Amino acid sequence: MSFFPEKVLFPPADNELEISVFGPGYGESVVLHVPGVGWGIVDSCVTKIGKAQLVPPLNYLLEMFPSISPSLAFVILTHPHEDHYRGLEEVLGKYPGGIQRVCRYDGDGIRELKVYLAQQRVGGNYVSRGLVNVFRAMNEAEKRGAKFRRLTEMTTVFELENIEIREFGATDIRMVALSPSARSCQKYVEMLLKAFAVVGKLTVPIDDEAHNLISVALLLKIGDIQIILGSDVESGAEENTGWKAIILNRDCPSLWASIVKVSHHGSQNGFNPSAWEKHCEKKRPVAIISPFWQGNTVLPKKEDLDNLKQVSSKVGITANVKLEKNLYKYYPREVVRGLLNSARSARVVEPARGIGFIRVRSLLNGQITEFRAESPALWC
Amino acid sequence: MDIQGQEVTTLTQLTSSDSEEVHGWHESVVRTSNQKTESSTEPVPDVSVGTHFLPSETAEEIPVRLEGVYRETIREWWYGQVVKIHAEKGYFEANLKDQKGIEIVAEFDIDPEFKDLVFYGAQFVFYVTTKHGRGSPQTMSQLEFTTPHVWRKHDDEHAEEIYKELFPDDAPL
């Protein structure tokens, strides 16, 4: 069964760069085609269409290549947030084409995170089985021959020199992690240690946003194009964390960009004016946002979008999170009455009606060959 | 079980369509007394003994039998999780999910009776029931939070076992 319209299922030319961003409202994934390197997936998400639960990046590639799947040059987990790892287990375990390289955020906090997860499980708090399974699937992929790499500031994902690309000529190709900084990793470990169980005390989970500290932002340079994938990197609460740390890093390459996957769902927290100044050094980039909802928080807000429009040539958003106030569409009158009797407010999260995504394809001289927003994704 | 919500109820492991993601429903679940009723036409007599049947995977109405005159039916229930707390404004935000997978974002007042149970990530069951008996049926709703776990010395051993089960390739703790 096909979930993508046939008109989108044609592969890019071998000399064409592709970035496709999926984000159904809760979850984010980026699929890249890098000439001279191959296909790669950064983070993963799941979505429901009817009764089927899909992993958009996996379905996209399987439907585009129904007979022979090309091997994945890289699969990257940027940080341990549910909206970034859901479905990654399926990608790692079920992708038939083989995986060459598996990368995840810096390993310093991994052991602590695992202990924390085990303790939270004992404490009866919500622990997603998904993350545990992703760690396991990464180990399995490594056993099957994938190279494993931990990413921290200035770690190289891949680097190829003088690669001949049709109709462009020779180019260096490099993908490098811009974060997390050493200070961010240290803070993250400290925070996990603080959350460890103590005899006689409650086992209370840490705030989910804490994991943004160790988010991996990535920079891809090929030909005349540079792409920045911001993951959930925040502006930086202190000098040596988030975007502030990236900017202050003396080894950081130039941060100009042709395309930016906007960090932290386009939120104010993720917007660092100095970083955007650098992204705009050559020209204003194309900005792509995956939205996010949790509770009543829906990102990006209107003012966030307005900010981004000021600093980019085009802004694309992968979905439109809709919260439906009319509960009677979903529940009988008595149930709604009972619900609103206790709740101050309640809104139903409207499910996606299709797998929306933003796709940009470009030749290596920067000439854009395709701007596509597949509904419900749209250009703002 | 006391329908007025004064007592601790007994729940066994909850099942749901997403049961893998729902963990740790201990046997004791604090039943908060912020129970609210609707369309009450006459006072409800206290029925202090009864049998409470659990919410199950089915979204159908589930009868709750009580000794005496009354019958209570669960009309709908949700698995809920606290995602944001506005302590100064006295409410919290939660994501609710029903058995059909419909997700709701909702805000609830922090009742003084359960304020200690409200923390980021706290889990609860929220359900709407109809109570039939004398007079017209009453619609009621209720939040039941999991009891927070106080770490005990022997939990360390349990955590080690869980760690081994979750991460069999890692060196033991």
Task: Label residue B14 by pLDDT band (50, 70, 90).
Answer: very low
Q: Are residues A344 and B76, on separate chains, in Cβ contact within 8 Å?
A: no
Spell out which residues of chain B touch residue A331, defining contact as CB-CB under 8 Å.
76
- Point out the least confidently predicted range of A259-268, A306-315, B12-21, B36-45: B12-21
C-alpha span between B52 and B9 (Å, rounded): 8
Chain B residues close to A116, C-beta within 8 Å: none
Q: Is B167–A342 a contact, with Cβ atoms under 8 angstroms apart? A: no
Phi-psi region of A200 (alpha: psi -120 to 50; beta: other; left: phi over 0): left
CB contact under 8 A, B140 and A332: no
Backbone angles phi and psi of A96, in degrees to 5: -80, -15
Give the confidence band of A152 by pLDDT, cuts at 50, 70, 90: very high
CB pair distance less than 8 Å for B170 and A119: no
- Ranking A236-240, A298-302, A304-308, B24-28 by mean pLDDT, the lowest is B24-28
Check residues A44 and A118 and name the one with the higher pLDDT: A44
Residue in A1, A2, A4 with CA at minimum distance from that of residue A377: A4
**Exposure on the CB side of residue B39, measured as CA atoms within 13 A:** 15
Judge: B163–A126 Cβ closer than 8 Å, yes or no: no
Nearest CA in chain A to B91: A344
Q: What pLDDT is stored for residue B89 in this prediction?
A: 93
Which of B141, B147, B152 is best to mutate for the A interface (most A CBs within 10 A)?
A: B141
Could you tell me which residues are beta bridge partners of residue A38?
Answer: A34
Any idea which of A297-301, A358-362, B74-78 has the lowest mean pLDDT?
A: A297-301
Does the pLDDT value for residue B24 go beyond 60? no
Query: What is the overall mean pLDDT for chain B?
Result: 69
Q: What is the pLDDT of residues A183-225, one digit of tens each?
A: 999 999 888 888 888 999 888 788 777 889 999 999 999 999 9
Q: Do A118 and B162 touch (CB under 8 A)?
A: yes
Token digits for A32? 């890249």
Interface check for A200 against chain B (CB to CB < 8 A): the answer is yes
CB B105 to CB A349 under 8 A?
Answer: yes
Distance of CA A376 to the CA centre of its chain: 18
Interval A288-292 mean pLDDT:
94
Torsion of CA A95, A97, A98, A100, to 10 degrees: -110
Mean pLDDT of chain A: 92
- pLDDT tens-digit readout, A339-358: 999 999 999 988 777 789 99
The pair of structure tokens assigned to A257 is 């960009």
B23 contacts A296? CB cut-off 8 A: no
> What are the distances in angstroms from CA A110 to CA A77, A339, B141?
13, 40, 41
What's the pLDDT score for residue B25?
35
Interface membership of A325 toward B (CB under 8 Å): no
- Identity at B81, one-letter amino acid code: Q
- Residue of chain A with shortest Cα separation from B119: A204
Q: B160: nearest CA in chain A?
A: A118
Domain residue extents for chain A: 6-379
Q: Minimal Cα distance from A48: which residue of B?
A: B101
Assign residue B16 a region (left: φ > 0; alpha: ψ between -120 and 50; beta: otherwise). beta
Position B3 pLDDT exceeds 60: no
Mean pLDDT check: name the lowest of A105-114, A156-165, B59-68, B84-93.
B59-68
pLDDT above 60: residue A253: yes
A63 pLDDT higher than 90? yes
Strand positions, DSSP E, chain B: 9-10, 28-31, 36-38, 62-65, 71-86, 91-97, 103-109, 123-132, 138-146
Which residues sit opposite A287 in a β-bridge?
A260, A315
Residue A20, token pair as written in the block: 């496709």
Query: Judging by beta carbons within 10 Å of its beta carbon (0-12, 13-18, 19+), is residue A94 exposed, middle or buried?
Result: exposed
- The residue-averaged pLDDT of A12-17 equals 97
Check whether A377 has a pLDDT greater than 70.
yes
Residue B56 CB neighbours (<10 A): 14
Of B101, B151, B170, the CB nearest to A203: B151
Residue B64 has pLDDT above 80, yes or no: no
Between residues A66 and B32, which one has the greater pLDDT?
A66
Bigger pLDDT: A363 vs A26: A363
pLDDT on residue B15? 34
Euclidean distance between CA atoms B96 and A26, whole angstroms: 15
Query: With 60 as the cut, is the pLDDT of residue B44 above it?
Result: no
- What's residue A252's pLDDT? 94
A6-20, A310-324, B120-134: which range is least confident on average?
A: B120-134
Q: From B161, which residue of chain A is nearest by alpha-carbon distance?
A: A118
**ipTM computed for the complex:** 0.75
pLDDT at residue number A321? 78
Which of B130, B129, B138 minimizes the C-alpha distance to B42? B138
Please tell me the predicted confidence (pLDDT) of residue A127: 65
Q: Which CATH class is domain A6-379?
A: alpha beta
For the whole model, what pTM was predicted?
A: 0.83
Q: How far apart are CA A160 and CA A152, in angstroms?
A: 19
